[in-house]
Amino acid sequence: MRGWLLSLVFAVSALGQTGGGWKNILPPPSLKGWTRIAIPPTQPLGAKQQWSVDKKNKTLVCAGDQGHDWLRYDQEVTDFVFHAEFRFTKLADESKARYNSGIFVRNYSDGSIWHQAQIGSSSGGYFFGVTRVKGENKRLNFQDKTKPSPVKPAGEWNTIEVRAQGNRMTLWVNGGVASEWNDLEVTKGYLGLEAEGYHIVFRNLKIKKL
């Protein structure tokens, strides 16, 4: 009985469960409160802004045409649940498409230390990143623990949530837990969304502090 109840809880997003405390963090059209940062931080940004807000549809749009960067939410957070919904714009010719983007959590302000929930439609739904391990920077990847990808194909909406509490992070995608990161030494940082060459739309960006 207990296992059945846990499965039922995991099948529903945190936003869909009872309880308040959620804050809408969709940027205003000016993008005030958010900062665009190059990946890696030592490289220049693309010449033009590739992030915009569709006020009518209440969405954040990434054109994906100005190189590799991330849009950082400028309030540092510690323990939280972050909710987002996203959809890649389907290409007319998908023969070489490798749709790619990510949700960043507990990043350093410049992105030199980063933890990403990969949301590419072909191989998304797992954590990876460069983090601190016993005082040194180390790259970790949990892709091998997530098969098959729970991310829906381009053109369809996906729901994703990251829960960070203490030294543990959990990634929930489209109805269930997809990836876990335990023993995390970085316990606070910045949220962000990644631009990596594809047109993608985000909506319902919400955070609940724990």
Domain boundaries, given as residue ranges, for the chain: 2-209
Q: What share of the chain has pLDDT > 90, as a percent?
A: 82
Q: Which residues pair with 69 in a beta bridge?
A: 38, 195
Q: Which residues pair with 131 in a beta bridge?
A: 138
Q: What is the pLDDT of residue 16?
A: 86
DSSP state of 57: T
Q: What is the pLDDT of residues 49-79, one digit of tens each?
A: 999 999 999 999 999 999 999 999 999 999 9
Higher-confidence residue of 147 and 184: namely: 184
Cβ atoms of 169 and 185 within 8 Å: the answer is no
Averaged confidence pLDDT in the chain: 93
Overall average pLDDT of the 82-91 stretch:
96
Q: 2-209: CATH homologous superfamily?
A: Exo-inulinase; domain 1 (2.60.120.560)
Q: What is the pLDDT of residues 88-144, one digit of tens each?
A: 999 998 888 889 999 999 999 999 999 999 998 767 999 999 999 999 999 999 998
pTM comes to 0.92
Cβ atoms of 161 and 83 within 8 Å: the answer is yes
Q: What is the pLDDT of residue 8?
A: 42
Q: What is the pLDDT of residues 160-173, one digit of tens each?
A: 999 999 999 999 99
| Cα–Cα distance for residue pair 190/205, rounded to 1 Å | 14
40 has a pLDDT exceeding 50 = yes
Strands (E) across the chain are located at 22-24, 34-38, 51-54, 59-62, 69-73, 80-88, 102-107, 114-118, 126-133, 136-141, 158-165, 168-173, 176-181, 190-195, 200-209
Nearest to 122 by CA among 145, 150, 87, 103: 150
CB atoms within 10 A of CB 188: 11
| Cα–Cα distance for residue pair 98/164, rounded to 1 Å | 28
For 64-103, b/e burial (b = at least 16 CB within 10 A) is: bebbbbbbbbeeebeebbbbbbbbbeeeeeeeebebbbbb
Higher-confidence residue of 65 and 3: namely: 65
